[in-house]
Amino acid sequence: TPPVQTKKACLLSVKISVKPVRSPPKRIVWAILPNPASQPVPNSTIQSKFPAILPVSAPALAPRNPSSQRLSASPSAATGRTDARALHQQLVLGTVLGSTEPSLETPAELIALIQSVWAPSTLSQRKHLWNRLQAFRQTRPRESHDRSTCVMISQMSNVSLGTRKTYAAALRALLLQCQIPMPTTGLLVKALANMGANVPESPAHPATKQDVLDLMAIFTPLLPRLSVSIWLMWKTASRWDDMRGLSRENFLVLSPEEIIIHWGETKMNRALEPLATNFTVVKDPLPMLHALHIVQSLSPGEKLATLTTSEFVDKIRPHKPLLTAHSF
């Protein structure tokens, strides 16, 4: 073989050998020679002929993200994630799933403070559902929370689709806040919605203006605050729980022409965000003077309505059997 061709072949083999790879280069580099029966050329031979091309040793490439490897291998990082998940479970449920270690206990004051973001009825419902799920899982200890929830909801044949969807959505939200994945339960909620769970099977009978005036005429002599609450609830299309939150300070303007209400903590705005929907202007020439007299008679901090929802329904049901708390 002519010498010039051999040098070109060796030079080509050197260029290939120093190409960046993830593993260190081999000690023996194969030369691409015109002769197919050629033998491998050692590195020492190539370095003696081309000292400026082939380095003596090539360092190995560093890992792409060494910091992530150190983080995943660090036991303190895993412990921190476990402690954070346990704390979150205690804040939501008041207990840690599958653990009774004293070091994971959370002060009751902190738990009560975090749980105050929910309405008492919502918190009570979630605790009831959680206890029901825990009792159900005692017979299926190896199943995940996601699967147990779906099986329990699917076996509730004595309740409506809307109630089953409400239960499934509440348990899913509760366990997601505990950082427990619930993918199948999310699909179940969508399936129940497609089956008509969002459509009420027996909607409340709407209250007419004549119904409201009849109730006001009945309750004004004995329960004047209840009569005003019924009128305001109908005029503002509010929940009875929202009426129970009204005190003298929530009425910004009281005049014969209009009443301006600033709603405080409601079901849709427990964070007390400054929204335009927090204000309602009421205008009605008929019962305005009566409402003004009742509201102005309230002491600072005194509530306009004190009855619970069930007590309110018990008051109006003898006079208007078709009406419920959702009729207004």
| pLDDT tens readout for residues 85-95 | 666 666 666 66
Q: What pLDDT sits at residue 268?
A: 67
Q: For residue 124, what pLDDT band results from cuts at 50, 70 and 90? A: confident
In terms of C-beta density within 10 A (0-12 exposed, 13-18 middle, 19 or more buried), how is residue 176 classed?
middle
Do residues 212 and 231 touch, judged by C-beta distance below 8 A?
yes
CA atoms within 13 A on the CB side of 40: 8
Q: What pLDDT sits at residue 183?
A: 92
**Rg of the chain over all Cα atoms, to the nearest angstrom:** 37
Work out the average pLDDT over 236-253. 88
CA distance 13 to 9: 6
User: Is the confidence at residue 30, as pLDDT, over 50?
Assistant: no
Q: Which residue has the tokens 């206990």?
A: 105
Do residues 261 and 251 touch, judged by C-beta distance below 8 A?
yes
The model carries a pTM of 0.53
User: Is the confidence at residue 117, as pLDDT, over 60?
Assistant: yes
pLDDT for 180-206, tens place per residue?
A: 889 999 999 999 888 876 666 667 888
CA distance 18 to 193: 62
Residue length, the chain? 328
Q: Which of 45-49, 60-64, 139-143, 190-194 has the lowest mean pLDDT?
A: 60-64
**Of 90, 92, 84, nearest to 105 (Cα)?**
90
